[in-house]
Amino acid sequence: MNKPQFTIVIPMYNRQREIRRALESCLAQDFTDFEIVVVDDASDDDSVAAASAYCDLRIKVVCHATNRGECPARNTGVASSRGEWIVFLDSDHALMPGSLSVIHRYIVQESEDIGRLGFMFKFDTGECSPDPAPDCSVWDYEGWLRFAQTARLSDTLLCTRHSTFRTVPLTDSRVAPTEYNLEFAHNFKTRLIPVVLAIQYTDSANRLTANRVRSGRASILLRASDDVASSERMLRNHGNALRRHAPRPYEVIYRRLVLANFVGGKWFVGVRLAFGYLWSCRPTFNGLASIAVAAVWPTAFLAARDWKARRA
């Protein structure tokens, strides 16, 4: 079979209502040379049945036996894909009519050294992301760092060359894709285009961010361990560049490392890192407060983080 132009990868967890909206927005596209890989991350509702109900050979549903998180789910989708370009769409997103045609028009005129294209989201609340809007320029490593420093909202509809994942796969853990984006920017160029092509809905009861922290001591420790490992790699591989060009993300990554050690029970390591954080970062009041709470009362910190995530 010929390779399709696009593979749309949609991870989902307990999204039986939202996945229908996302899939129907894809199937309504006027550009039809695509496939869809839905990766179910061990849902315990009828999400798989909802995604499998469509009689369209372009849709493939792949299931995880256990819940592994957003980045592993996207890696599974990439591994199951045949498309030349990968479009990452979450289950609470929807493509606007004609979006794939617009993306294709940009692809055919793009140079080979561009690893991915990014387009804008419109939230159902009226905001657009990224904010501020990009200017269509090509971003290398330093350009991406400056974007990370200045963006108020950074959610982007990304269309990525399939071949790039051989060099930079997503992180195989429960962490957010921050490390992947840094590694990608270090190896490939990105063009962000100020065209809104997708809607991001906020009506889901279980937002993706709210499921990063799973209940139970074992799951909390696993997530903390993942956060420690990823944050250490980012500071080791990108710390100097982040301090120069993106001090705000640098502070967030360093703070995450401190917090993960306190949550994981490594109190003395957390205290040592907290002094390093104070010395090398530009601490915010909220950052200092979160570290103080996590150091003294980790369970209260986790409860506050869960509450904030579910309101996001």
Region 245-250: what's the mean pLDDT?
A: 97
Q: Do 101 and 237 have their domain in common?
A: no
Instruction: Tell me, yes or no, whether 81 lies in a domain.
Output: yes
151 and 284 assigned to the same domain: no
> Could you tell me if 45 and 159 lie in one domain?
yes
- Residues with Cβ < 8 Å from 272, sequence gap 6 or more? none
Mean pLDDT of 32-59: 96
Residue 307 reports pLDDT greater than 90: no
Residue 248 shares a structural domain with residue 138:
no
Q: Angle at the Cα of 74 (from 90 to 140), degrees rounded to 5?
A: 90
Phi, psi values for residue 137, rounded to 5°: -80, 160
**Could you tell me if 219 and 196 lie in one domain?**
no
Q: Where residue 47 sits, what CATH number does that domain have? A: 3.90.550.10
Per-chain mean pLDDT for the chain? 92
In a domain, 208, yes or no: no
**Residue where a domain stops, chosen among 200, 229, 259:** 200
Q: Tell me: the pLDDT tens digits for 67-103? A: 999 999 999 999 999 999 999 999 999 999 999 999 9
Q: Are residues 121 and 188 in the same domain?
A: yes
Residue 226 is predicted with a pLDDT of 93
Residue 283: both structure tokens together: 């601490």
Same-domain pairing of 130 and 24: yes
Q: Under 8 Å CB-to-CB from 112, ≥6 apart: which residues?
A: none
Whole domain around residue 127: which residue ranges?
A: 6-200
Examine residue 210 and state whether it is found in any structural domain, yes or no: no
Per-residue pLDDT of 94-114, as tens digits, reads 999 999 999 999 999 999 999
Among 166, 200, 234, give the residue marking a domain's end: 200
Q: Are residues 32 and 130 in the same domain?
A: yes
pLDDT number for residue 296: 93
Say what percent of the chain tops pLDDT 70: 93
Asked if the structure places residue 206 within a domain, the reply is no
Q: How many domains does the chain have?
A: 2
Q: 31 in a domain, yes or no?
A: yes
- Domain identity same for 176 and 234: no
Q: Given 200, 223, 251, which residue is the final one in a domain?
A: 200
> Is residue 205 a part of any domain in this protein?
no
- What value does the mean pLDDT take over residues 206-224? 60
Q: How far is CA 300 from each of CA 71, 215, 222, 297, rounded to the nearest angstrom?
A: 27, 14, 18, 6
At 223, the pLDDT band (50, 70, 90 cuts) reads confident
Query: Which of the pair, 215 or 295, is modelled with greater confidence?
Result: 295
What's the whole-model pTM score?
A: 0.92
Q: Do the domain assignments include residue 148?
A: yes
One domain for residues 104 and 38: yes
Question: Is the residue at 40 inside a domain?
Answer: yes
Three-state SS annotation for the chain: CCCCCEEEEEEECCCCCHHHHHHHHHHCCCCCCEEEEEEECCCCCCHHHHHHCCCCCCEEEEECCCCCCHHHHHHHHHHCCCCCEEEECCCCEEECCCHHHHHHHHHHCCCCCEEEEEEEEEECCCCEECECCCCCCEECHHHHHHHHHHCCECCEEEEEEHHHHHCCCCCCCCCCCHHHHHHHHHHCEEEEEEEEEEEECCCCCCCHHHHCCCCCHHHHHHHHHHHHHHHHHHHHHHHHHHHHHCHHHHHHHHHHHHHHHHHCCCHHHHHHHHHHHHHHCCCCHHHHHHHHHHHHCHHHHHHHHHHHHHHC
Residues 49 and 12 both lie in one domain: yes
189 and 273 co-located in one domain: no
